[in-house]
Amino acid sequence: MASLPEEAIINKESVSLLLDCYNTPNTIPLAFSFEPLPIFDRSFTMQNHSIDGRSLYALNGYFTEKEGKELRAFSKEASFSQKIFGNHESEQSGEIPAKMMNGKERWQFFERPPSAIHSLFRLFGYLSNKMDVKITTLPWCLSDQKTTSTCLATNFLNENSKMSETHGKHQDYNPENGLAFTIPCLYGSEENIYHSHFSNGGVGKPLIMTVMVYATADNFLPEYGMGTFFYHHDGKEIKIDCRHMQMVFFEGDIWHAIEESRIPEGIKTWRVSYVFKIIFNPKRSDQDLRQSLFHEIKNLEIST
């Protein structure tokens, strides 16, 4: 009997750009797809929220203790050699800047990921199999003259000011504003790519999600802040605490920001988020991927 793969298999694909402004030397028009994985043995506890009809899941207990220890040790030692300020005012006020991996560090991280991240890739493979969708990352790097967006982002923080929380509100990706790159349509239709503006996760449409994993120092506590605020249209917010090895799935067009820190005097600590932007691409015109993702996540939930 042929054995079934248990490891994540990732393929490289090239992406075509739809907007000329991204035709710059820093753009890397590559994406990665996760092959369907039939075997799976993990579960988690789930907290789910709906934000104006969009989904948000906070999942705990998915990673093993060993993976958690390894990611903590990795995060402590890894180089995040690019500095970023939430905004000009935080730089002026002397805030410690956030750090992120540069292009080379990011590439090495993706090529030889810590075991927890490999387990996350296995989850993508499993969801691809169960939901009968193709899962790919967004393009590796899209860069115009002013901005850069990457499918893998890292954000290492020692602190975060109220100002950075307020000014940092953003959406990761909103296909209603049009697409910067081609997403192939996998079922028979007149057009073979999605290039009109579409509502994220509508029936028969791709669902663009952000998946984030937190790692923290061993002295970090959720009450020190630096979790994530997610915002409804009416301004009402939902806060997800920063907890070591918590995984958060959310739709790319939900507005969000990093919560300010509240770290007691004399305590030095850190937290990092590893962020992946992925596309669930339907294979049939009648697939409702928002529903289907909820169903599969619910199936993996540990019943308490």
Rounded CA-CA distance 135/215 in Å is 24
Residue 226 Cβ vs Fe ion, minimum distance, rounded to whole Å? 14
- CB nearer to Fe ion: give 99 or 130: 99
Region 146-175 residues binding Fe ion, contact defined as CB under 5 A = 172
Residue 275 Cβ vs Fe ion, minimum distance, rounded to whole Å? 7
Residue nearest to Fe ion (CB): 172
Angle, to 10 degrees, between the axis of helix 289-300 and the axis of helix 115-131?
120
* Strand-pair category, 141-143 with 133-137: unpaired
Site map for Fe ion, 175-214, x if CB under 5 A? ----------------------------------------
- CB nearer to Fe ion: give 95 or 172: 172
251 binds Fe ion (CB under 5 A): no
Residue 170 Cβ vs Fe ion, minimum distance, rounded to whole Å? 6
Rounded CA-CA distance 250/273 in Å is 14
Region 26-45 residues binding Fe ion, contact defined as CB under 5 A = none
Compute the chain's Rg from CA coordinates. Answer: 19
- CB nearer to Fe ion: give 67 or 172: 172
Q: 250: which 2 tokens?
A: 């959310």
Residue 87 Cβ vs Fe ion, minimum distance, rounded to whole Å? 15
Total residues interacting with Fe ion, rule: CB under 5 A: 1
Rounded CA-CA distance 88/212 in Å is 26
Contact, 198 vs 279, CB < 8 A? no
Task: Specify the 3-state DSSP secondary structure of 198.
Answer: coil
Residue 252 Cβ vs Fe ion, minimum distance, rounded to whole Å? 8
Through-space distance between the first and last CA atoms of the chain, rounded to whole angstroms: 36
Enumerate binding residues for Fe ion (CB under 5 A).
172
